[in-house]
Amino acid sequence: MARRPLVFGHRGASAVAPENTLAAFARARDLGADGVELDVRRTADDVLVVHHDAGVDGFGVIVDAPFARLRAARATIPTLAEALDACRGLLVNAEIKCLPWEPDADTDGRVARATVDAIVAAGTNAVISSFDLGAVDRVRSFGAGIETGWLTHGQEVAGAARTAAEHGHEWLNPDFRIALAAGAAGVAAAHAAGVRVSVWTVDDPDDARALAAAGVDTIITNAPDVIAEAIR
């Protein structure tokens, strides 16, 4: 029998706890997730924090404020170090969110470098991913041995996997709709290129079963208990 896909909590178990919080990561563990996906940004004084959007409602843009002010205003936003500590024993997909068109764009690679350093220091079994192919290329250039993944949306799986492979990345992270459309043939093409497939964000059990049957390697979901039960 083929091994089932790994199940990762999307921003933790965000169906039952506030996303990208220590509580969400703890709940993902409790619900049987194999790992978690989380989002990395930086403050004005270069502290890496875990939050999806560049800004925080009622606070402002994260990169415009020092960490102490962010912590005082929003104590539930963890640092990356705190999040990695909370995820000990779990696999982690750390997504660099500082994209070229965002206010905290990682133009000089400081977020990529600091993310690598934090993962190495924590001893976490992790993949670093981004929609910015240049960001994960930069991570590979550091030579730390951390696996990397290219996040895509609406891009055909086989072609994107070839691009990921050409850049030396071990993972392709397509959206679930395009992965469903690719089916077993698309996933097999990715595997033939030497690239594993991690699909986001899958909350429907029928979709999860179809993706598992197609041979994907990881399913990222807001409800890890529901999806793990669906594909066991």
pLDDT, one tens digit per residue, over 90-122 is 999 999 999 999 999 999 999 999 999 999 999
Q: What is the mean pLDDT of the chain?
A: 97
Residues 169, 175, 176, 180: is their CA dihedral positive or negative? negative
Task: Name which of 51, 33, 44, 50 is nearest 221 in CA terms.
Answer: 33
Residue pointed to by tokens 């999307």: 10
| Per-residue pLDDT reduced to its tens digit, 27-37 | 999 999 999 99
Taking only the tens place, the pLDDT of each residue in 127-155 is 999 999 999 999 999 999 999 999 999 99
**Under CATH, domain 6-231 is a member of which superfamily?**
Phosphatidylinositol (PI) phosphodiesterase (3.20.20.190)
Backbone angles phi, psi at 194, to 5 degrees: 90, 20
Count CA atoms within 13 Å of residue 221 on its CB side: 29
Cβ atoms of 8 and 35 within 8 Å: the answer is: yes
* Largest Cα span, the chain: 52
The pLDDT assigned to 2 comes to 59
The model's pLDDT over 40-99, given as tens digits with 9 standing for 90+, comes to: 999 999 999 999 999 999 999 999 999 999 999 999 999 999 999 999 999 999 999 999
The C-alpha angle 15, 61, 8, rounded to 5 degrees, equals: 25
Q: Where are the domains of the chain?
A: 6-231
163-204 tens-digit pLDDT: 999 999 999 999 999 999 999 999 999 999 999 999 999 999
